[in-house]
Amino acid sequence: MSTGNEKTRRQRRKFTAQYRHEAARMVIDSGRTIAEVAQELGLGPQLLGRWVKVEKETMTPSTLSPDEREELKRLRKENADLRMDNEFLGKAAAFFAAKHQ
């Protein structure tokens, strides 16, 4: 006999190791908060936070100098900003293309 609870339960989503890695790197490399990235990806912040923690634990200590690490951090943030700008410009172009049809 069914109680109807089966319909209200949410299906557990499964994520590949590659997806978890890339989502965690979005937080680590961009300097954005876990909450921001989680909302963007449609994830719970606690889940993404666990992925970030695991990713940070698996990162090997770097042989880069402090200056190189700082530059790498700056470049990763710049790269993330440029990706967001590019995504925005693509959406704007699509909007104006649709508007002029």
Spell 12-29 as b/e; 16+ CB within 10 A means b. eeeeeeeebeebbbbbeb
- The 10s digit of each residue's pLDDT in 56-99 is 888 766 667 788 888 888 988 899 899 999 999 999 999 888 88
Residues 68 and 100 in one domain: yes
Residue 42 lies in a domain: yes
User: At residue 4, does pLDDT exceed 70?
Assistant: no
Residues 33 and 69 in one domain: no
Residue 9 lies in a domain: no
- The 10s digit of each residue's pLDDT in 32-59 is 899 999 999 999 999 999 999 998 888 7
Residues 67 and 88 in one domain: yes
Query: Please, where are the H alpha helices in the chain?
Result: 5-8, 17-30, 34-41, 45-58, 66-99
Q: How many domains does the chain have?
A: 2
Query: What pTM was estimated for this model as a whole?
Result: 0.53
Residue 7 lies in a domain: no
Residues 54 and 18 in one domain: yes
What is the residue range of 18's domain?
14-59
- Give the Cα separation of 6 and 2 in Å (integer): 8
